[in-house]
Amino acid sequence: MTEGDVVDYAVIEAEVLADCEVYGPKLIAYDPWNATQFAQRLTDAGLELRQFIQGLKSYTPAMKELERAYTSGALRHGGNPVLTWNAANLVARRDGNLNMAPDKKRSADKIDGIVALIMAFGLAVDVDDAGDPDGFFKKPVRG
């Protein structure tokens, strides 16, 4: 999308609902910026949503868990070419305490898919009080 493009939220909403019918997520992460009405419509449709604030505090544990899953071989994405491309484009910004978050400005190209995966890991870590998303890996997403 480029600046000035019109977003048809009804089309996006229909796609999200169709995907939820296929994959049956228990919880969906969303960025609350400019999404209040959209999130409310999805909630009204029976989906459970949780805000994922786009900051270092939210992203750091999620990115660390994703890295652990990837390096241990627990992450399986079926060789999805778009996710692979997004992951290759990702550049992390870090602060002095080694907290990290995706840096859209410094990333080579689109990173939306990998950011969505990071947000899902964020929910998985948050849902489990111990910070261990083992339940998330019992039924991994497969492409």
- Tens-place pLDDT, residues 96-140: 999 999 999 999 999 999 999 999 999 988 765 444 455 555 555
Task: Give the pLDDT confidence score for residue 131 in this predicted structure.
Answer: 47
Rounded-to-integer distance, Cα 127 and Cα 13, Å: 25
Q: Are strands 100-102 and 92-94 parallel, antiparallel or unpaired?
A: antiparallel
Q: Rounded to the nearest 5°, which phi and psi values hold at 52?
A: -125, 100
The dihedral over CA atoms of 80, 82, 85, 91, expressed in degrees to the nearest 10, equals -110
Rounded-to-integer distance, Cα 36 and Cα 73, Å: 37
- List Cβ neighbours of 95 (8 Å cut-off, separation of 6 or more): 56
Task: Locate the DSSP E strands across the chain.
Answer: 28-30, 49-51, 92-94, 100-102
pTM exceeds cut of 0.75: yes
Task: Give the pLDDT confidence score for residue 122 in this predicted structure.
Answer: 94
- List Cβ neighbours of 2 (8 Å cut-off, separation of 6 or more): none
Rounded-to-integer distance, Cα 102 and Cα 1, Å: 19
